[in-house]
Structure 1
């Protein structure tokens, strides 16, 4: 059973697109985020001058909907952010348009802690593969005392919870074990945040794919198949299909088929179904639980129907 978390968000200037802070109850960590246009306000905040980690985020011009990120650390994070705010010809970085600062409310993070966290977050971002990192190298983990490692791993775990709430998804992994239970048992017992496995089969082309919804994201599993070409022109999904092939996330696996080279997250089951089928598709209908025929849409509505279906007048 999952345990709830209370996250406190504060909009410093009263607008959703401006500087904000985030905290989790009983966690000593503190997160501040701001667009580049509000960097001056971020640098004035006391937490920005503490030892900590920072993340720079921007759009990736080399991929559709992708992002570029840089992860760093500093004894005084504000000094590092000021340096990165300069133009590239002055040693700064131009790609980013948002900065995230992670520090400690009790100021107990040391330089060694920050370097450990930097290394762990870079490794997690590389594992998740959701953003193109501009870090040249991955610094090795420092040999901290066992108790400090435990504290830092807890810090990382809490950061991975709060950052997606702020729209920072570069550490979210799609790797979840496929549950071995029978399909009917999986449908009944799966965690609310992890769905049963769904299958899509395009019989005409012998294409079969597996997918799962994890924490509200629809993920097609590595090894799934897709059509190599798209049958409809001028479609946004066709452009996405081409991007996946160019990036190597989809790899040709025969004359008319391709294979997913890694788990890939889609914005909707229909987007995933379109890439698999090579045409527009209703993912809520075409993704089904193997052995039961239950569609994704029907599975998603089960709790609503069981709790509220009889309340219509």
Structure 2
């Protein structure tokens, strides 16, 4: 079982939409985030005068459902953010609506450290594909001592832990999923495999629910075009085609070229069916034919019937 973690959140101005800080127990990192509308207050914070990494996040102006993200570093983050806010300047960035900066409470993070961190994070974000990176390719800063590289690897893991809590999922690691039944991986091994079919269209998809996301597995087929009403998951279907997650295959169908994580079984079912669909009824356990909805209800009922060791009478 994964070990629990404590994250301390502080609403700087007492409102959920203002500045927020986050810290993890036994981690020297310090996170400060807020909307661009609060930039005046944010740059006055002491954290902004330190060396650190920052993320600029905003919607894709071309309509993609993935956010646009710029990853940067500076030994004076406040000054750099002011530059990015001037859209008429060369360093200006107009897309962003939210900023998140990460510094060190003990002030032991150096310029060399943040350059190395920036390189790792740009590479990781590009490989994960959960956002549209503004940076382009990452620079290679590999001249840190071995011990410092190990410290920065730990720093990155803490960043991956805390950012999703703040609603920033672009560095969230995708779990390893084995496509060989005899070599089931973790945590995928804990999740049963589901199947969904539309026989009259000859499409069949396989899925697994892992870490709160519903994955449609590589090799699944989908409808060759969107046939539902406009809106809904149509834009997601088109995005997956544009991103080459869905590629053309035989008989006018689409093929999932790689595993893809959806926010819900219904989102997954809609894309695979090419129209709106109720994933709770559409997905069925491959082993028994039980619907996803019935399986989930069974899991909840079983959990509710099991005494909680931490509960009180």
TM-score with structure 2 setting the length:
0.90
Task: Encode CA deviations 1:72-104: one digit per residue, 9 max, x unaligned.
Answer: 111111111111111144531101111100111
- Equivalent residue, structure 2, for 1:290: 286
- Kept in 1, the 8 Å contact 2:48–2:77? The answer is yes
Alignment of 1:93-108 (within 5 A): 93-108=93-108
**For 1:242 and 1:38, how far apart are their aligned partners in 2?**
34
> Structure 1 residues 49, 223: closer, same or farther in 2, change over 3 A?
farther
**For 2:305 and 2:193, how far apart are their aligned partners in 1?**
25
Q: Give 3-state SS (helix, strand or coil) of 1:244's partner.
A: helix
- Kept in 2, the 8 Å contact 1:31–1:100? The answer is yes
Count of matched residue positions in the alignment of Structure 1 and Structure 2: 307
Q: Give 3-state SS (helix, strand or coil) of 1:199's partner.
A: strand
- Equivalent residue, structure 2, for 1:68: 68
**For 2:164 and 2:20, how far apart are their aligned partners in 1?**
14
- Kept in 2, the 8 Å contact 1:179–1:196? The answer is no
Alignment of 1:104-253 (within 5 A): 104-178=104-178, 191=187, 195-253=191-249
- Equivalent residue, structure 2, for 1:271: 267
Once the two structures are TM-superposed, the CA of residue 130 in structure 1 deviates from its matched residue by: 1.0
- Kept in 1, the 8 Å contact 2:232–2:276? The answer is no
Q: Give 3-state SS (helix, strand or coil) of 1:255's partner.
A: helix
Q: Give 3-state SS (helix, strand or coil) of 1:2's partner.
A: coil
> Structure 1 residues 194, 259: closer, same or farther in 2, change over 3 A?
same
Q: Give 3-state SS (helix, strand or coil) of 1:70's partner.
A: strand
Q: Give 3-state SS (helix, strand or coil) of 2:172's partner.
A: coil
- Kept in 1, the 8 Å contact 2:229–2:275? The answer is no
Once the two structures are TM-superposed, the CA of residue 263 in structure 1 deviates from its matched residue by: 2.9
Q: Give 3-state SS (helix, strand or coil) of 1:172's partner.
A: coil
Alignment of 1:78-97 (within 5 A): 78-89=78-89, 91-97=91-97
> Structure 1 residues 307, 173: closer, same or farther in 2, change over 3 A?
closer
- Kept in 1, the 8 Å contact 2:11–2:21? The answer is yes
> Structure 1 residues 273, 191: closer, same or farther in 2, change over 3 A?
same
Query: Which sections of structure 2, spanning at least 5 residues, go unmatched?
Result: 308-313
> Structure 1 residues 193, 236: closer, same or farther in 2, change over 3 A?
farther
- Kept in 1, the 8 Å contact 2:128–2:174? The answer is yes
Once the two structures are TM-superposed, the CA of residue 60 in structure 1 deviates from its matched residue by: 0.2
**For 1:177 and 1:266, how far apart are their aligned partners in 2?**
15
**For 1:293 and 1:57, how far apart are their aligned partners in 2?**
42
> Structure 1 residues 134, 272: closer, same or farther in 2, change over 3 A?
same
Q: Tell me the C-alpha RMSD between the 2 structures.
A: 2.5
Task: Encode CA deviations 1:191-249: one digit per residue, 9 max, x unaligned.
Answer: 59963332222222221222222221222223321111233232422333233223433
Name which of structure 1's ranges 8-17 and 83-92 shifts more when overlaid on structure 2: 83-92
- Kept in 2, the 8 Å contact 1:251–1:260? The answer is yes
- Equivalent residue, structure 1, for 2:311: none
- Equivalent residue, structure 2, for 1:256: 252
**For 1:301 and 1:192, how far apart are their aligned partners in 2?**
20
Once the two structures are TM-superposed, the CA of residue 175 in structure 1 deviates from its matched residue by: 4.1
- Kept in 2, the 8 Å contact 1:124–1:171? The answer is yes
